[in-house]
Amino acid sequence: MIPIQLTLEGLYSYQERQKIDFESLTEAGLFGIFGSVGSGKSSILEAISFALYGETERLNSRDKRAYNMMNLKSNKSLIEFDFINYENKKFRAKREFKRNSKNFEDVKTPEVTFYEWKNESWIPLEHSNAEKIIGLSYANFKRTIIIPQGQFKEFLELGATERTNMMKEIFSLHRFDLQNNVSVLNAKNKSELDQLEGQLKGFEEVNAEQISAQKEHLKLEQQKFEEIKVQFKTIEEKYQQLKTLKTDFESLKQKKFDFEKLILQKTEVDELEIKTELFDKVFRIFTPIITEKNKLEKEISEQLKNKESQFKILKETEARFEDIKTKLAAVLPKFEALEQSKTQENDLSLILKMLEYSDDIKTLKIRTEKGSQKVKEVEAVQNLIEKKITDLTEIAEALKPKKIDSNTLINVGNWFLEQKNLADSAKDQNRKIEDFHIKIEKLDTELIPFAVDLETYKEDFKLKSDALETETKRLSERRNQLEVQQKLAHFAGELHDGESCPLCGALEHPNIVEFDDVNAELIEIKKQIEKTGIQKDVNQKQLSEIEKILDRKKIFEDQQRTEQENLNQITIKTETHRKNFVWDDFNAENEAAFEQKRQQSLEIEKQIEELTQQISGQQKALEKEREHLEKYKKALEEFKLDEAKKDEQIKTSEANLKILKWSDYKEKETAEIVDIYKKLSQSNLETEQNYQQLVKDEKEISPKLTEQKTIVNHLETRISELKKDISENKNILTKSLIENNLINVIAVQNILLQEINVQEMRTTIQQFRIQFETLKNGIVDLENKLKDFSFDEEQFAEAENKFTTAESDLKLANDSVVKIISEIERLEKEFKKKENLLIELSILQKRTENLKLMTNLFKGAGFVQYVSSIYLRQLCDHANVRFHRMTRNQLSLQLNENNDFEIIDYLNEGRSRSVKTLSGGQAFQVSLSLALALAESVQTNAQSEKNFFFIDEGFGTQDVESVNIVFETLMNLQKENRIVGIISHVEELKEKIPVSLHITKDEERGSLIEIV
């Protein structure tokens, strides 16, 4: 994760909205956050964690977190954090919460929204799960990216189980936890094995011997089936002959019975045939005649009704036509006088316009008089403005020679500003050089108690060390001699005649050596050895202290030389800069005089500017008055033109009058003329409309009247024709009745009421005739066929019984053969299945053994712990690269057999000890090394181009030399494309870090952020 921007408002001590642009900080690779205690340094990291995860180290959800996080002078809090995740995608986390206006202590639950930058805009996400975006839980985020205050040593001191769980999450080691996968496979394999064994129990009786026995049985049954089949064929032939004969005799009997029935039906069929033919004849002859008769009677009735209706319409149309003619005669005189009345109407219209023009002329004369007065007033104002512009211009021209050129003022001002910056830089460099001088003198003072020659101190300490080593060796040899002598004296004192010697086994001891008591000398030798060891340790510690002091002194001297070189460069720049002062009107040594002249020039420039603005304003006013004058003059011209135009229009209209005279109406009121005009216009319009409407009505009704007369005449003609057709139809009907021997129409209607379907009835009669002849011929044929045969029922019953028995025996034999063949096929198929199941059983049994081995391998997450230990050892190796450098190869980090961290102490023969025995400064060094290695591994695993790491403690536990070593380590991270941020109040770091945030706390405004 790489931070881009953080916005804070109303959070802890941050009252006003503060924005941190991390891009300018992360470009430096190493940056810091500095400020006094309680200024709000740690709140920045807490804001980032809370924006992403909604969690903080100081407060949890039970601590009224929202209320306690909000600034007491604020009514709302805002955190907005922009960052780039491991996929190089840009995201924003925003949390905002507000105070209840009615209850000060009631702060609503924060509203959280996550955004992604897409298509040049922020797109809201459907979730607010930072773990999905960053790839780390909150616990591991604060261990690998942002390490809050009080949590720096947490990873170092975690237990093995907790550390394994953390490694599983960070490095996705859960993919190596295959215990559940193996359990699932084992359960599935066991289930399949149980099912297979259950299936095989159903195949216990299936074997090759059983199949062979069934095949032998099949041969016997097939032989028996062939014998029965031959016997059945003989019996079947005899039975079929008798069965055919029986069928023929039964058929002859049935046909004779059916023929007797048809003879009885023949008379009815003959009568039906006569009726059908009569119906068909009457239907064909009389149906068209009667249909025509009915049609003519219906039409003449309809035409009579229609004639009556149309005659009534004709009378109404004639009455309406006469009424229109009467009205038209009455309105005709008015219409003939309409032309003169319209001329009078037109004259009144012209007189109204002339009255309107006359009124307009009066109004224009009044406006012309007022406009002339306004033109005089505007001309007077214009003269005053022109005089004022002339006066202001003269004053401005008089001030211009007194003003200094602006470019000259800017260049001289920049020269003095640069001179001041160089002087301040020189002063600052002198202060830094003096600070280093004091530090170097302090270190020289620390070297005085050692009383060493700095040129030969290493050789002197080596001579002392060699002498002490020689003395230690001599004393150790003497101690060994005395210890041997002491043991021999002990053995000699234990020897007695008759008892075997423990060394040679002799029973006699004639010459026993006597030894002096060496205990006192041995004790003295041991004291001298211990004293020599102490002197060696003191000598080594003094050498180490001197080297540390000299190393620090060298660093300070190098830094002092660097600052001195910077001061020399500033001096050279200052001399060059002074040579660039080329303005004769000013003194390079008197900046105050320059400032005074600049202020005077600026004041004159301000006066000129004010005068210019006044002139510009007056010119705008003058231009405005000129526009007004032009406007008024133009309006006067238009008034005069309009007046002449209106007068000309009156004369033109008077010439166009035809009946009325202008002199009779010019003094009258317009309203009176309007009333006369409206009444005359309305009367003319009504006369014209009435006449036109009546003429139109006359034209419309005249053809209708003619048409209606034609319709009535046509109906009378059609009725006459229909009466003639009815008479002819009656004659045809009478003639047809006589020709067909029918009394009247009623007789015809009675026959037609039968509604016989002629076609269907003829088909039925024809089928009867065919059936009758067919039966008759069939009986003759069967009698001829059976005249030489007789049928015995008992003989047929005996043959039928023999056939049934033989058929049953054949079926039983065939079923037996089929059954045996099916059984053989089933057994062969089952035997094949059994073979396949046995093969599968062998495979599953072998797989069971393999899964049992895998279950033991992955049981209890042992494989995960093994992989975790590999990752931990790699972390140790990476951490030791920096830890060795920080401790000058005196300490190292390792894992014991329980995967717990231990320290290897090379100053104590490389023995191991607990990490809890480390001092505060050493604990910080190993935690920093381990945290950097862990963060590096996490970011590498995420394939990120850059990675970010933030520390909020630890530097206060380091001495000056350790701070320098840590600083060198952090500076080297830039080469590794790493970004590190630190929070500290150590002044040495503040001076070394190239860019930082400085947090100050104002009593009124709260915490304020400044980039230094």
Average pLDDT over residues 166-172: 70
Report the predicted TM-score, pTM, of the whole model to 2 decimal places: 0.37
Pick the closest to residue 583 from 575, 573, 593 (CA basis). 593
Q: Whole-number mean pLDDT of the chain?
A: 80
Look up tokens 């020679």; give the residue: 401
Confidence (pLDDT) at 857: 67
Least confident of 100-114, 270-284, 497-511, 526-540: 497-511
Question: Are 275 and 754 contacting, i.e. CB atoms less than 8 angstroms apart?
Answer: yes
Q: Which pLDDT value is given to residue 986?
A: 67
8 A C-beta contact, residue 909 and residue 926: no
Chain centroid to Cα 568, Å, comes to 61
Taking the CB of residue 319, how many other CB atoms lie within 10 A of it? 8
3 state DSSP class of 27:
coil
Q: CA of 115: how far to CAs of 19, 138, 237, in Å?
A: 18, 19, 99
- Edge-to-edge strand order for the sheet containing 146-147? 146-147, 947-951, 978-983, 30-35, 995-1002, 1006-1011
pLDDT band with cut points at 50, 70 and 90 for residue 503: very low
Taking each helix axis from N to C terminus, what angle separates 793-858 and 862-886, rounded to the nearest 10 degrees?
A: 20
Average pLDDT of span 141-166:
68
- Residue 753 near residue 275, CB atoms below 8 Å: no
CA dihedral 619→622→624→627, nearest 10 degrees, is -130
The arithmetic mean of pLDDT across residues 863-890, rounded, is 80
HSE-CB for 229 with a 13 A CA cutoff:
9
Buried b (16+ CB within 10 A) or exposed e, 710-746: eebeebeeeeeebeeeeeebeeebeebbeeeebeebe
Is pLDDT above 80 for 15? yes
Q: Which residues contact 634 (CB under 8 A, 6 or more apart)?
A: none
- Residues 6 or more apart whose Cβ sits within 8 Å of residue 273: 765
Our CA angle for 11, 14, 20, nearest 5°, is 100
Residue 943 — very low, low, confident or very high, per pLDDT cuts 50/70/90? low
Q: Residue 690 in contact with residue 313, Cβ under 8 Å?
A: no
Quick one: angle between helices 457-493 and 519-579, nearest 10?
A: 170
What confidence tier does 940 reach under pLDDT thresholds 50, 70, 90? low
Dump the DSSP string for 38-69: TSSHHHHHHHHHHHHHS--SS--GGG-HHHHH
Cα gap 40→1007, rounded to integer Å:
6
Q: Is 918 strand, coil or helix?
A: coil
CA angle 741, 745, 751 (to 5 degrees): 75
Question: What per-residue confidence (pLDDT) applies to 112?
Answer: 92
Report which of 722, 746, 760 is spatially closest to residue 286, judged by C-alpha positions: 746
- Residues near 215 by Cβ (< 8 Å), separated by ≥ 6? 824
| Residue-by-residue DSSP string for 606-674 | HHHHHHHHHHHHHHHHHHHHHHHHHHHHHHHHHHHHHHHHHHHHHHHHHHT-SSS-GGGTTTS-HHHHH
Give the separation between CA 152 and CA 514, rounded to whole angstroms. Answer: 68
pLDDT tops 80 at residue 947: no
Helix (H) or strand (E) holding 980: strand 978-983
pLDDT on residue 95: 92
- Comparing 52-61, 313-322, 935-944, 972-981, the range with the smallest average pLDDT is 935-944
Contact 35, 1009 (CB under 8 A): no
957: pLDDT strictly greater than 70:
no
Q: State the Cα–Cα distance between residues 656 and 826, nearest whole angstrom.
A: 130
Cβ 597 vs Cβ 583: under 8 Å: no
CB atoms within 10 A of CB 817: 19
pLDDT in tens, 713-771: 888 888 888 888 888 888 887 887 877 777 777 877 777 787 788 788 888 888 888 88
Q: Contact at 8 Å (CB) between 896 and 911?
A: no
d(CA 756, CA 740): 19
Residue 154 tokens, joined? 């947490």
Compute CA distances 389 → 396, 547, 607, 620, whole Å: 11, 86, 16, 11
C-alpha 983/C-alpha 46 separation (Å) is 12
**Which DSSP category does 306 fall into?**
H
Quick one: tokens of 712?
């009535």
Q: What is the distance between the alpha carbons of residues 303 and 723, in angstroms, rounded to a whole number?
A: 11
User: Taking the alpha carbons of 537, 542, 546, 548 in that order, is the dihedral positive or negative?
Assistant: positive
Higher pLDDT pick, 858 / 180:
180
Share of the chain above pLDDT 70, in %: 90
Mean pLDDT on 23-36: 82
| Surface-to-core class of residue 981, CB atoms within 10 Å of its CB (0-12 exposed, 13-18 middle, 19+ buried) | buried
The length of the chain is 1012
pLDDT tens-place string over residues 670-711: 787 788 878 878 887 887 788 888 888 888 888 887 888 888
Residue 94 has pLDDT above 90, yes or no: yes
Helix (H) or strand (E) holding 984, with range, is: none
Pairing of strands 995-1002, 1006-1011: antiparallel
